[in-house]
Each structure stands twice: as C-alpha cells, then as structure tokens.
Amino acid sequence: MRVAAIQLRSGVDIDANLRAAEALIRAAAGEGASFIATPEMTHILQRSPKRLFAALRPEAEDKGAAFFAALADELGVHLLIGSLAVLKSEGRAANRSLLFGTDGQILARYDKIHLFDVTVSRKETWRESAIYDRGTAAVTAQIDGAKLGLSICYDVRFANLYRRYAEAGAQILTVPAAFTKPTGEAHWEALLRARAIETGSFVIAPAQGGTHEDGRTTYGHSLIIGPWGKVIAKIDGDQPGYITADINVADVAAARERIPAWQHNPDYRLS
C-alpha cells in the first residue's frame, strides 16, 4: 500500500484552505497513494473563538466534510481528514477526524480525547477544553486489508491509547497534528517513534507547519514511521507539501514477533 501524509499551513479562510489541501491530495493520489492523511484542523486555524464559531457548522452542513467526501469519491482513495472543527452546540465544538472511503462515504469518526490544556511558556497558553468537547471513544477502521487506530495531536502523549489500538489489531496509527513549535522541537519525533516502537505499528503523522494567519506557529516535520521505529519518510521543515511511502502491513507482525513485549507484561501493583 502506498500511503501519504499531507503537510499544510491552514489559515482563517475555509475556501482557501480547502483549495490548498485539494492540490496536495491530488498530487499524492497522482503518485499512487491509496491512503492519504491530512493534519489536524485541515480547514481552519483560528485562535479567536468569536470568529471561529462564526465560521463553524454542524458536520452535516460543514463545507469541508462535503468537499472531501466528493474528492475521495472522485480520486478513489481512502482519505483521512486529520480533523475539522465541527459545531456541536452554541459555543461548543468537536475536534473531529473523518475517514472517507473510496466512494466518499464516511467510514469512521474520531473526536479528540485528550484536549490540549497546557502552558507551553509564559507567552503561550492553550485551553482547548474552553471550546471543544473531548471525545470518549477510541476508534478503529479497516482500509485495504489494514486496520487503523485514530488519534489527534496531543493524544500522542498518552501511550495507553495506542497500546489498546495495537491490542485490538491496529497496524497503522494515525496522528494528525498542529504541534506548537517549542513542543515539536523537543518531543514530536521522539513521541511518534516511541508509539511505533512500543506497539510495533506504522505511524502516519501529517502536520501543520509554519506561521499561520491567526498568529500561531506550528512545527511541521510530517513523518511516516515503520514498526521498528525507523523514519521512512519525512518533510524536513514546516513548508506545505506531502510525503509518500510504500508500506507492507506484514512488517507489523514481523516486528511484534521479534519483540513480543505484550507477553512480558505481568500484572503488578505499586507499594
């Protein structure tokens, strides 16, 4: 299977963001990618809650959801939109991944479980829970003989989620993100490689990158990682673009057989 990770620099204009994502998705499909993943907040990055909610719609009315469904159908690819901001009720939204099948139908929805409520520095504080409702369910989906485990950005710091996915048979873990520059420089690749190594899984991590219209700066450096922890494709920077890799899910079974760590996990308690 050829897979692709799209790197974006989404802004505040939904139409412009859709056009930018479309161009890169088409390019990746043109190179034979049958599974294509985009970053977190593909269709809008807007720090102002007032302006954000003025632009948001419920999923059934969301311009991005309809647009990407039609694109997946046209290209005949499995398309994971890393996330869209979807209106749930007045002043509340979901940070939601949508997986589209080759016919444009939605195969899976995943709402971000772990919300980014952190103080990165004296100048940079984030409180996702002020706007977004957290998801309550881990989600897997089947594509082309492979099983996916879905997650978003800050989820990557919570290893048990990925352990559960692997135990459920997931061979590919998706981590679309909009990592801050400080946390990205310090932790992005290390965390992603750890999740791949711990579970013996492929990890596909498409990212936002660069300085955005709303003033935030994201890290970029999108990655595709193999089940032995090796980086097999990478964007070395924050510029928009895409990467592809040919993967074989049989490599997952081989990695898990070489180091059967799950069989070496006795029950214990803290005393």
Cα 122 to Cα 245: distance, rounded to the nearest angstrom: 39
Domain that holds residue 98: 2-261
For residue 269, being part of any structural domain is answered with: no
Domain-embedded: residue 98: yes
Domain holding 185: CATH number?
A: 3.60.110.10
Residue 271 falls within a domain, yes or no?
no
- Tell which residue, 31, 90, 94, has the closest CA to residue 242: 31
Residue 180 falls inside a structural domain: yes
pLDDT at 260: 82
**Which of 74, 153, 213, 234 does the annotation list as catalytic?**
153
40 flagged as catalytic: yes
In the set 112, 128, 147, 181, the catalytic residue is 112
Residue 270 domain flag: no
- Enter the DSSP assignment of 133: P
Q: What is the structure's pLDDT at 91? A: 92
- Which residues of the chain are modeled with pLDDT < 50? none
Q: Is 23 helix (H, G, I), strand (E, B) or coil?
A: helix
167 is catalytic: no
Give tens-digit pLDDT for 228-259. Answer: 999 999 999 999 999 999 999 999 999 999 98
Give residue 88's pLDDT.
Answer: 96
The domain total for the chain is 1
- Torsion sign (Cα): 26, 29, 34, 39: negative
Residue 270 confidence (pLDDT): 83
Q: What is the pLDDT of residue 208?
A: 98
What is the amino acid identity at position 181?
A: K
